[in-house]
Amino acid sequence: MKAAVISFPGSNCDEDLVYALQLAGHEAELVRSTATQLTDFDAVLLPGGFSYGDYLRSGAIAKFAPIMPALKQFAAAGGLVLGICNGFQILTEAGLLPGALQCNEKLNFICEAEPLTVVNNATSFSNQYAAGASITLPIAHGEGNYYADAATLAAIEANHQVVFRYADNPNGSLNDIAGLTNAAGNVLGMMPHPERAVEALLGGTDGLGVFASMASAIEGGTHDQRADA
């Protein structure tokens, strides 16, 4: 798998994500948000951080970055797109994922290892996990409280778009949602950081499954499969 990691001004997890992908055996390179093309990549990843400082609202400025038209074109063509933390917020701001991320329920910044449940292992981002698997990934955010209106939330659930749910729901997210895909299944946003759980030195390797799943889907030509968990 050859992956592009988009680096926005303020991104602070971009180098970590490149390192994690390379550690997992994949090709990865940084692509500046000022670029206008995404050719010759199998997947595009948006890292965590504070794009443009997030002074207005998380992801609100990044959605206007020069790279975004190419990203939308890549996603529309069925390419795999993964947004992590701030990357998730950018994807919702850009309209590539439904709903929004708002301030955590208790208005606090949370930085801790968080238990999750893999509720749908039939996606391009989770096929290497067992159905119903319990995994632990770090979270670090102040605006990870997932929200969608009732009709949107019902559609998300009916279409099995929720991939990860929190076991203890640390931020007040509706339906314990920690990560979900678009309706087509080729764009995933998740608040937990898989790139921070790729070697024992970091406390665990549960994050490797996300990258292995993407590579498996690409190599198998099944990245457009829909889940029916």
Which positions are annotated as active-site residues?
Answer: 85, 193, 195
Question: How far apart are alpha carbons 190 and 184 in whole angstroms?
Answer: 16
Q: Is residue 82 within 8 Å of 45, Cβ to Cβ?
A: yes
DSSP E strands in the chain: the ranges are 2-7, 27-32, 43-46, 80-84, 100-102, 110-118, 134-141, 145-147, 162-166, 177-181, 187-190
Edge to edge, the sheet with strand 80-84 lists 27-32, 2-7, 43-46, 80-84, 187-190, 177-181, 162-166, 110-118, 134-141
Dihedrals phi, psi of 156, to nearest 5 degrees: -60, -45
Q: What is the greatest pairwise CA distance in the chain? A: 43
